[in-house]
Structure 1
Amino acid sequence: MNASVPSPLNANLILNSDSYKLTHYLQYPPGTEAIFSYVESRGGRFPRTLFFGLQMFVRDYLARPITRDMIEEAAEFQARHLPGAPFNRAGWEHILNRHGGWLPIRLCAVAEGSAVPVRQVLATVESTDPQVPWIGQYAETAILRAIWYPTTVATISWHIKGLIRRYLEDTAESLDGLPFMLHDFGARGVSSFESAALGGAAHLVNFQGTDTLAGAAAANRYYDAEMAAYSIPAAEHATVTAWGEEGELDAYRNMLDRFARPGGMLAVVSDSYDLERAVGYWSNELCDRVRASGATLVIRPDSGHPPTMVCRTLEQLAEGYGARVNAKGYRVLDGVRVIQGDGIDLDSIGEILAEVERAGFSAENLAFGMGGALLQRLDRDTQRFAFKASAIRRDGVWRDVSKQPRTDPEKASKPGRLSLLHNPEFGTWRTQREEDPLESGWRPALQCVYEDGRIQGQQTLAEIRARADAALETLAREDGGCSRS
């Protein structure tokens, strides 16, 4: 059978929008020459957003020009989807003929990895051709989606890193293990491969452990990393239960035979039948073999009340393997660790860390695997992202544009052509009009990342990580910055 394979749905940028935008080109006032818009987080769960992900969109979607075939496909689709509504053929053909299919917009954004307080401009979009002033607003759907989702994932991950860091500072002698203490388990819990790639890459701004292959591959490809993240051999329930309950001990021996090497690590989920019995195997029958291997064994208790089960597992392992007391006065297991991968989110991580500290164990004994709560249990309103037009040029004159709904003042938008400023000395940010004078100590914080087909200002993952870590250092110095609550 030689059935034709359709092109990917995301291949046509004209259809990467909302239905109602197909007719918006006819709705602007006479004399409209340009429209200026901005993106912001209007608030939400976190007081700061860690900006990330726009470069993936720019290097993928905006690197594909509009083609004749795309125009024809969109025209045919609209004729059936919006019967009777005129298709903007002249506008799209102007972009094709005048600009070679590249979108005539100027897209600027704050540097990725920046932790910016809410209600500040994060990105701006301005149309650059008076013949097609609608184009920036037409691209709203694709651009906003490219920003809000990875930025929200990066924000959640960054705040969790701050939380874990605070417990390490109190209970451990070093922060060396921090980059590997939150592992991405979210690939199977998201809605698409692309979500896994975008969200998985966003997590890797803050941590270096993942089981989301798509996220590591995306970070490598779009942010020029040689290898963005790492994992270790790990068992799943199927590879344990395949041996039968009577063969559980043999399943664990097999893991050690296959993967336990000097200096290496392996993780084994151990609640397939009876967690306490399984940890007993690890602490007794298998203890000498684990020690002799030179590997670090990571036990995963995957069911029950997480704080209770983690502490119980730590106590059992301490009896079998021993534990030293570090300089902070907390116990550190010898050659074994625990990873909790069930029921993990920001709140449960805090509860587990608090319970572990009360039990006298250092946070360095732990790692966490986070799935749906990291990549899927969030939406655009988690940080209340918005893309709004704020200025329009008509007959050569810029005019303010904003909405001020009396029924919901929280949804008021900002007027004018806007810029984001940063004061490096104090670590502060503010939004102001482009035409306002620049005061001493303040620097423009938006950089152009795309203009009329030219991709600019590309950033590496290493640069972004350094920026995010510096912001975390600043936050840690602030009173209550890395809150345990």
Structure 2
Amino acid sequence: MKQTNPMLLIDFYKAVHAEMLPKGITKSVSYFTPRMSRVKRWNEVVMFGLQGFIKEYLVDYFNEYFFFEHRNKAIGTYKTVMDAALGEGAYGLQKIEDLYDLGYLPIEIKALPEGTLVPMHVPMFSIENTHKDFAWLPQALESLISAEMWHPMIAATVGHTYRQIVNKFYEMTCDDNTVKARALGAFDFRGEECLQSAVKAGAGWCLSFLNTATVPTIPYLERNYNCDCTKEPVAFGSPSTEHSVACSNYAIDGDEETLIKRLLTEIYPNTSFSAVLDSYDYWNVVENILPKLKNEIMNHNGCFLVRGDSGDCVDVVTRTVFKLWEEFGGTTNSKGYKVLDPHIKAIYGDSITVQRCEQIYDILEKNGFAASNVALGVGSFSFQCIEEDGVLKPFTRDTFSSCIKATYCEIDGKPYPIFKNPKDGGFKKSQRGLCHVYTGSDGKLTFKDGYTSENLPMNNLLETVFRDGKLVKEQSLQEIRRVLNEGEF
């Protein structure tokens, strides 16, 4: 959508609501809230993506394609589209002209820190106007904010879910210095809805793990989350073959032996790498070819990751570990679990759901092997869907029923708590008035509503991050990782 006038990044009905609001309205406050979870495994969602959205849209995008645009073009483009689609007289143009003349977004956003685990029903951030003439603006931005915010939050929650699984099994079976953040990698780029989705999913994943195949995630995080890949671990990739490499070499030699030997001794003699080995007969490679290359593998200055890519992933990756142990051996760690020789390891990068991840680690543990003997890759399925009780549940905005609802306004100087409470609406009931978010006696986030600007408690955990066109409070990637992972990444 680059180069589209940002005032057009709306549902059509947003173009007419300013004229419908009560006369004399000078203030409107709305809250972004996860209202319910449709996933049994989740009762909290990771707060993430707001800072990136603010920088890319509320600052850069609005400036470049609206406020810094020539007035005739900025106003004319909006008018042309609305005249054609809604009809002249069906909407008001003056509000757009007034906003352009003001020269900035008269908006304040107050938010929880990114990386916070937020329970259902607790507001994650608020949005309100700072200028009395633009009470229509907070809800006018709803469509854009909702469209941009739900996916990075779910991606971050997906990553956190896998990290919890890793934490459990690594703490049980691995030495304490084993790096948990390198246990899994994201292989989802090609299966995401679009480039933007892939980048933001990768960013959410990188709150919990370092490994990703999505290269543009790094510049996105550097632009928006105060990090530098040359000075700190932002994200890591790894050299790996693909089937085109294996098949083209096989066409010449009739087996994988020559390619594997060349990778070990000529191409990557001092670098760890993975090789996909199931183009034809995976178990022939594992059981017959790898033993022939044992000297090359053991003399390789790095780790050779043996990758299957078809069949039952749970069986393939665990059985690979057992086969590699028989041939290459290893050591027993401080917790009594077997660890493969550091020159070789098993990897599986396809079909690793949260359930299969748990199954793999559980099988390894029950057979006396550390979880670190395998590297696992999470594909696009796990970023877009989860299976529960035999039912596939695709992720959408409604996974957490994330919404922005107006709950407070001021009209002719008087405060009015407003709310919705559908008779048959259930979870669609909104907050009422201003909200105070705080930590309850059980250590969990909670809130109370019903306040006005005159009696809202001062120690609100929703703190100003954006005001009048400027980001006023920033978090770094490192800080967000610490928040989510309780200080340990």
TM-score over 0.5 for the pair: yes
| Counterpart among 90, 97, 100 of residue 93 in structure 1 | 97
1:163 positional shift: 1.1
Aligned to 1:397: 414
The one-letter amino acid paired with 2:14 is K
- Are residues 1:58 and 2:65 paired? no
What residue number does 1:479 align with? none
Q: CA deviation at 1:21?
A: 0.9
> Does the residue aligned with 2:466 lie in a helix, a strand or coil?
strand
Rounded to whole Å, the distance in 1 between the matches of 2:331 and 2:407 is: 60
Superposed CA deviations along residues 308-344 of structure 1, whole A, max 9, x for unmatched, are: 1111111111111102222222211102122221112
Equivalent in the alignment of 2:392? none
Q: What's 2:128 paired with?
A: 126
Q: Would the aligned equivalents of 1:10 and 1:16 in 2 still touch at CA under 8 Å?
A: no
Separation (CA, whole Å) in 1 of partners of 2:435 and 2:159: 29
Kept in 1, the 8 Å contact 2:435–2:456? The answer is no
CA distance in 1, matches of 2:305, 2:282: 14
The structure-2 alpha-carbon separation of the partners of 1:216 and 1:257, relative to structure 1 and needing over 3 Å to count, comes to same
Contact kept in structure 1, 2:482 and 2:488, CA below 8 Å: no
Tell me which amino acid in the other structure corresponds to 1:202: G
Matching residue within 246, 255, 262 for 1:254 = 262
- 1:188-337 equivalent positions in 2, closer than 5 A: 188-227=190-229, 228-244=234-250, 246-262=254-270, 264-281=271-288, 283-335=290-342, 336-337=344-345
Question: Partners in 2 of 1:85 and 1:320 — Cα distance?
Answer: 79
Question: CA 1:80 to 1:471, structure 2 compared with 1: closer, same or farther past 3 Å?
Answer: farther
Q: Can you list the C-alpha shifts for 1:14-41, whole angstroms capped at 9, x where unaligned?
A: 1111122111112212222221100111
Contact 1:163-1:350 within 8 A present in 2 as well: yes
Contact 1:356–1:363 at 8 Å: present in 2 too?
yes
How far the C-alpha of 1:59 sits from its partner, in A, is 0.8
**Contact map agreement 1:197 1:217 (CA 8 A) in 2:** no
Task: Say if 2:377 is the partner of 1:369.
Answer: yes
Partner SS for 1:272: coil
Report the Cα distance in structure 1 between the residues aligned to 2:480 and 2:446, rounded to whole angstroms.
21
Rounded Cα–Cα distance in structure 1 between residues aligned with 2:262 and 2:198: 31
Distance 1:255 1:85 in 2: 69
Q: Which amino acid aligns with 1:130?
A: K
1:350 to 336, 350, 358: 358
Stretches of structure 1 that go unaligned for 5 or more consecutive residues are 1-7, 474-485
Q: Superposed, which structure 2 residues align to 1:425-436 within 5 Å?
A: 427-433=443-449
Deviations 1:40-88 (A, max 9, x none): 1122121111111111111111113323223221211111122345343
Distance 1:43 1:182, change over 3 A: farther
- When residues 88 and 254 of structure 1 are mapped into structure 2, their CA distance, relative to the original with a 3 A threshold, is farther
Q: Equivalents in 1 of 2:421, 2:456: separation in Å?
A: 26
SS of 1:93's equivalent?
Answer: helix
Letter in 1 for 2:28: I
Paired residue type of 1:78: M
Residue identity matched to 1:274: D
Question: Following TM superposition, by how much is the alpha carbon of 1:109 offset from its aligned partner in structure 2, in angstroms?
Answer: 0.9
In the other structure, the counterpart of 2:19 is: 26
Distance between the aligned counterparts of 2:75 and 2:10, measured in 1? 14
What is the one-letter code of the residue matched to 2:308?
P
Give the alignment partner of residue 42 of structure 1, picking from 11, 35, 58.
Answer: 35
Query: Which stretch of structure 1 is more off in the superposition, 20-29 or 430-439?
Result: 430-439
Provide the residue aligned with 2:460 in structure 1: 444
Equivalent in 149, 154, 157 of residue 156 of structure 2: 154
Cα displacement string for residues 131-178 of structure 1 (whole angstroms, at most 9, x for unaligned residues): 121100000111223321111110111121011110111111125321
What does residue 478 of structure 1 align with?
Answer: none
Choose from 395, 410, 414 the match for 2:431: 414
Q: Indicate the percent of aligned positions where both proteins have the same amino acid.
A: 27
Other structure's SS at 2:486 match: helix
- 1:73 maps to a residue whose letter is T
Distance 1:445 1:406 in 2: 31
Q: 1:10 to 1:36 in 2, by over 3 A?
A: farther
- Answer yes or no: is the 8 Å Cα contact 2:434–2:456 preserved in 1: no
Render the CA deviation track for 1:102-156: whole Å, top value 9, x for unaligned. 2111111111111122211100001122212110000011122332111111011
Where in structure 2 are there 5+ consecutive unaligned residues? 386-394
Match of 2:113 in 1: 111
Q: Answer yes or no: is the 8 Å Cα contact 1:422–1:430 preserved in 2.
A: yes
Distance 2:467 2:266 in 1: 53
Give the superposed CA RMSD: 2.0
Measure the CA separation in 1 of the matches of 2:107 and 2:284.
Answer: 63
Distance 2:255 2:151 in 1: 44
Q: Which runs of 4+ in 1 moved over 4 A?
A: 434-439
Task: Report the CA distance shift for 1:426/1:10 in structure 2 as closer, same or farther (over 3 A).
Answer: farther
Between stretches 245-254 and 220-229, larger displacement belongs to 245-254
In 1: Cα distance, 2:30 partner to 2:460 partner: 17
How far apart, in 1, do the equivalents of 2:83 and 2:362 lie? 60
CA distance in 2, matches of 1:202, 1:374: 13
In structure 1, how many angstroms separate the alpha carbons of the residues matched to 2:26 and 2:460?
26
Distance in 2 (alpha carbons) for counterparts of 1:137 and 1:19 = 13
Q: Which amino acid aligns with 1:207?
A: F
TM-score normalized by the length of structure 2: 0.89
Residue identity in the other structure for 1:15:
L
CA distance in 2 between counterparts of 1:52 and 1:175 reads 28
* Paired residue secondary structure (1:284): helix
Label 1:375 to 1:10 Cα distance change in 2 as closer, same or farther (>3 A): farther
| SS state at 2:133 partner | coil
